[in-house]
Amino acid sequence: MTYAADSFDRLPRLPAWVTSAQSKTPEDVAFLSGAALSHLHLVLNDESLPQNLLRARLALRAAEACVMHQGRPERAADLRDAVAFLLPGDQPGPAGEANLLWQRAVERPLSINALRRVLPGVDTDQIATWRDAGQGPPVSLAAAVLQAVVEDRPRDLATALLLADAALAQALGWSHVLPILALGLKRGDLRKSGEELRLACHRAITAAVAEAIRQAADLSRRAGRLRDVAPKLRAKGAAEAVAMFLASDAVAPTALTSLRSDRAARRFCDRLVTLGAVRELTGRDTFRLYGI
């Protein structure tokens, strides 16, 4: 598979010193996480980046992290399967619920009402109380929210991480939740409080931003390839199908309702694989999933 030569460096790279520098003091830790967030903000404003797809891919990673915190064995492929083939009325199970929680959270513009709709058993007043638990710079605020939710709901780490990332995104002026703290924090970090938790959040942000930017660069290249081949796709409904790939972590052929039939959708997906525009994600002969 080949790409245009200029596509490899389309997004600005995170300076190496951000992740390689030795953080000896709390001030160093805070400075490096601030530099990482500043660079991520620059990346997120790049027009070549498929924003919805990046959020969906990071949401899958956040769900995987939450499942691991629970001591469950499911990983990304299991989480995809748990959601992709649900029928109306089906229950997704604990792993599927974690994936649905994060996918729905990153789809909606950030607001208290949007968070209430994706968080079962949590009302608007409670979210507002947690949100007002802290003050100060964005990371300090997010750490305070995280601590408040963990203290109130120690067994519901997914809600705590989601609301912490929502607080961080809101403080930074982002329009949507972007999973960052959920990617970088370890289970042991979630037992910390006060200054220790704040420093753990700074360190987690530096590591998670590096991963997010690598993911963004990869998705930007792959999205560019899909956009390049899109004019060659003559099937009726192809434009709508391409738009779905540019916004979704994984797509089942049956979800491509703009195409004429399930058979046509499978042929369309196989054509995109042949053109190097998407990948088959499962390695199976049946019940396949495709994504950029």
**pTM score > 0.85 for this model?**
yes
Q: Which of 23-27, 32-36, 57-61, 192-196 has the lowest mean pLDDT?
A: 23-27
Tell me what the pLDDT averaged over the chain comes to: 94
Mean per-residue pLDDT, 125-146: 95
Question: What is the three-class DSSP state of 25?
Answer: coil
Q: With bands split at pLDDT 50, 70 and 90, how would you rate the model's confidence at 9?
A: low
Contact 86, 79 (CB under 8 A): no
pLDDT one-digit tens code per residue, 45-95: 999 999 999 999 999 999 999 999 999 999 999 999 999 988 888 889 898
- What is each CA distance from 1 to 4, 98, 102, 230, 288, in whole angstroms? 11, 34, 32, 16, 21
* CB within 8 Å of 141: residues ≥ 6 apart: 134, 135, 167, 168, 171
